[in-house]
Amino acid sequence: MQRKIQSALISVFHKEGLEPIIKKLDELGIRIYSTGGTQSFIEKQGVAVTPVESLTDYPSVFGGRVKTLHPKIFGGILFRRELESDEIEAKVHQIPPIDLVIVDLYPFEQTVASGAAEQDIIEKIDIGGISLIRATAKNFKDTLIVSSRNQYAKLLSLLEQGKGATHFEDRRSFAAQAFATSAHYDVAISNYFAQTLAEPQPIFKASFTASQTLRYGENPHQKAHFFGDLEALFEQLNGKALSYNNLVDIDAAIDLIDEFEPQIPAFAILKHTNACGIATAKNTKEAYLKAFAADTVSAFGGVLVSNTSIDEDTAQELDKLFFEVLIAPAFDAKALDILKTKKNRVLLKRKHIEKPTIQYKTALNGVLWQDKDLQTEGEQNLTTVTKRKPTESETAALVFAAKVAKHSKSNTIVLASDSQLFASGVGQTSRVDALKQAIIKAKHFGFDLSKAVMASDAFFPFPDCVEIAAEAGIKAVIQPGGSIRDEDSIEACNAKNMAMVTTGIRHFKH
């Protein structure tokens, strides 16, 4: 069903890209209604425009808070063209039809992000715009709603192809986008108020405007999309499109590497969200080589991340390894020349952006929501519970190992020095199995466990892990504590002259 556009209402905050549409509407003989700054913008194009006030016979009032909220505006949009009684009412009340509405919304989210005062934020809650969007979208059988400047190009194409007429499916498509725009805007406002209450309300609402279709999900038979703005996080310098599994691993990699201050080069290699290697060193190349040494097998096909720039020397070493993704804050020109020789190798340059402090996922017939685990223990958070205190180097190693354990799948045991992961046991159903796995791996790759400390993501319910660690030569342990049998593990440490510290913070990761 085609509808000829006879009149249009234009009221926008952002005017970029609007000029060619105005000229096309004028060329097609379509009457334009407008108000305020948009009216002035149209007049500067030399195009005739009818002020909304002349239609409503009512001025803009309350500092512009009320401009388009009037029966002659909303009647012109909402009356049903095919319904005779509506047509009669429109004529009786002298309500002209409005067939096209171009409107956007005040930048509420940007105003909140800018740190503006609450009064400024409140003034950016759009009333007239959101009402115009919903009204026009509701009557999509007769009217066309353009709710975003991202639709200007498509609108211009429709106007040119249809010579001012639109098809039903086009109007329905624009309406769907309009309701998505409206919903996103309301979610942003709802979340702002929920977060600023003295007692925050347990309300879950999420909305993302940007999205992309992924090649597939965890497996080829699963469809997948990413909702969010990856370009705000990274500049992709090389490689194929990111997959679902890439994104999950990249998220884990960023969380892990951000535990380490950029003043000291740190490098991590991850597989299935767990670190198979991580190290710090005096330069990036050395940090990478130490991380790689922890597991030269699992590193194949991994996701790599550095907290410092990738230079030529590091790139030459990295080029010897097949990996999926490399993330860094910067890349030297010569390093890029080397790394770009593999066309599918993904290279991501990080941008500075604040990461979300909450996380959620679907579960059963609902959603699980929680604060992100942002607690990281330093030396000041350690309590020695054994007769022997850890040495200075052991203390540094315990802090390092605890950071890695925090970002490993539970149950996990991490064996490390103060600058290098030796091995870890991850995702095990028992802590004993996790420890045995870590010991086997560490020995396989030639590490001396007498130079290692042990970190656990949760407490020891029995002394067995301490006893096994002691047999392997480990001299110091870090764990949350909190078991009713803590004393058993502490006594086992004392018997073996081991040092144990507790943190009081558990770091389960499922």
Tell me which residues are annotated as active site.
138, 272
Question: Which regions of 286-417 does DSSP assign to beta strands (E)?
Answer: 302-306, 323-328, 346-350, 358-363, 366-371, 383-384, 413-416
Taking CB atoms within 8 Å and a gap of at least 24, the contacts of 184-188 are 184/208, 184/209, 185/105, 185/108, 185/126, 185/130, 186/130, 188/108, 188/109, 188/112
Instruction: Write the DSSP string, 210-268.
Output: -EEE-S-SSSTTS--EEES-GGGTEEEEESSPPPHHHHHHHHHHHHHHTTS-TTS-EEE
Which has the closest alpha carbon to 486: 470, 510, 503, 507? 503
CB burial of 195-222 (b: ≥16 within 10 Å; e: otherwise) equals eeeeeeeeeeeeeeeeeeebeeeeeeee
Q: How many alpha carbons lie under 13 Å from residue 70 in its C-beta half-sphere?
A: 20
Angle at 497 between CA 494 and CA 501, to 5 degrees: 65
Q: Which residues contact 222 (CB under 8 A, 6 or more apart)?
A: 216, 244
Q: How many alpha carbons lie under 13 Å from residue 234 in its C-beta half-sphere?
A: 21
Contact 78, 98 (CB under 8 A): no
Q: State the Cα–Cα distance between residues 132 and 146, nearest whole angstrom.
A: 10
Contact 189, 109 (CB under 8 A): no
Q: State the Cα–Cα distance between residues 390 and 453, nearest whole angstrom.
A: 10
Question: Which regions of 272-412 does DSSP assign to beta strands (E)?
Answer: 274-280, 302-306, 323-328, 346-350, 358-363, 366-371, 383-384
Q: State the Cα–Cα distance between residues 271 and 96, nearest whole angstrom.
A: 64
What phi and psi, each to the nearest 5 degrees, are found at residue 418? -80, -5
Residue 249, classified by CB atoms within 10 Å of its CB into exposed (0-12), middle (13-18) or buried (19+), is buried
What Å distances lie between residue 312 and 101, 294, 319, 338, 342, CA to CA?
55, 23, 10, 8, 16
Contact 494, 379 (CB under 8 A): no
